[in-house]
Structure 1
């Protein structure tokens, strides 16, 4: 696929493009997903601390932001953390210097450009960038694109779903697997969002008046409603994928 119409650089190479990190307004993202307290507190500062780890794609013709993929160095310690996304942020924030491991954390493509292979192109370049920075593997707590359509299906079962040709049923998982990634484990509490029932009603339009699990639009799994305490908590599981880079495979 030809991507000559795109220019992709790191923010270290083009610091003037840092402002474009906020240029991706995606109406398909559930509002509550912007309220993970760990991400809100740490993500912007960590991207600024490690600009060589964020790839920004712009259209050559007009300079418009087309896509972005953020990775961060961290320390995995003993295996990939069950805390997934939040755990990577906490590890990256707690280390005074660059950690030995690297995780892809956030990827987006402008809605009108989706379906043109841009996400796969960015993942390929992220692999190459991680290898150039001295890492032997790129990991990612992957958030499957269509899992929200099956919120009650355990993530292990969802990851195992295949198309007739043997490839992953979920598009984003398929992109990772085609790039050479392999599923390693579930991160059972990759992101946790707790808020009052009133906030959840604002975010979802649902009544949140009954104790127990509530399927929320855009959620990969139900939120747990607790009317007695006037809170609901959403704990999201992600799928850890690993891309080995030492073999030189960059496809």
Structure 2
């Protein structure tokens, strides 16, 4: 593959979704976060210079990976892990609010680096992360943070996120492969947030998103979810509160 990477500003007409929609790696329920609707509708229009799309030079109109980040204003020290407790959701609404009130951003947060399932394991995610780091530095920022969604945490949904983030191999690198990509790129794990994304819904909605019965109150293990979904049959309601691991990249 003759890989090329361009910003949305450079290729505004190019779609970031993959030709084969079945290659999208995210569980269906991940698209139902209320804050995600703001993200989906806003990020390309508001911050096109912060979005990256990768494509093969032989097929220049077909995305093979995408990476998005947004700037926002923040008073805390990212190197000390002083970052939003509401993670992914918090970064998105803060970025939108800052733009509305004219607040100048001083920090950039990654929101998504997505590689289709048929290209995972090829090193493409690391290339997209490197391109994101370079682009954020080009835009004049000294720091990039990321509320990382560990890609193997769903296999141990009952393990606390702090414990999972601390797991390392014999060489001292994170056991989780996506966290490992960040650390190899120069990032440093600086903390966790237990409320990075909140997805509420009625039981019928959760049944449609997952195919599971949701007929008993209590925790429900959902494939692809990092922690169990909390279900209340009595109130016809279930909520998923996803954690994340904060990584800081000094550029």
Could you state the TM-score of these two structures normalised by the residue count of structure 1?
0.91
Report whether the alignment pairs 1:54 with 2:54: no
Report the equivalent of 1:20. Answer: 16
Report the equivalent of 1:223. Answer: 229
Report the equivalent of 2:33. Answer: 36
CA contact (8 A) 1:47 1:72 kept: no
> CA 1:224–1:187 in structure 2 vs 1: closer, same or farther (change >3 Å)?
same
Question: Could you say what secondary structure the match of 2:16 adopts?
Answer: helix
1:112, CA displacement in angstroms? Answer: 1.9
Q: Deviations over 1:145-170 (max 9, x none)?
A: 11111100111111111222222111
Question: Could you say what secondary structure the match of 2:181 adopts?
Answer: helix
1:23, CA displacement in angstroms? Answer: 4.9
- What aligned pairs does 1:230-245 form with structure 2 within 5 A after superposition? 230-245=236-251
Any unmatched runs of 5+ in structure 1?
Answer: 246-251
Report whether the alignment pairs 1:164 with 2:160: no
Question: Could you say what secondary structure the match of 2:59 adopts?
Answer: coil
Report the equivalent of 1:151. Answer: 157
Cα RMSD for the two superposed structures: 1.6
Q: 2:220 aligns with which of 214, 230, 233?
A: 214
Could you state the TM-score of these two structures normalised by the residue count of structure 2?
0.91
Q: 2:107 aligns with which of 87, 101, 109?
A: 101
Question: Could you say what secondary structure the match of 2:122 adopts?
Answer: coil
Any unmatched runs of 5+ in structure 2?
Answer: 77-81
Report the equivalent of 2:196. Answer: 190
Aligned residues: 241
1:125, CA displacement in angstroms? Answer: 1.0
CA contact (8 A) 2:25 2:117 kept: no
1:202, CA displacement in angstroms? Answer: 1.9
Q: Deviations over 1:93-150 (max 9, x none)?
A: 1012452110000111122222111100110111111111111110000001111111
CA contact (8 A) 1:212 1:226 kept: yes
CA contact (8 A) 1:46 1:93 kept: no
Report the equivalent of 1:68. Answer: 66
Question: Could you say what secondary structure the match of 1:151 adopts?
Answer: coil
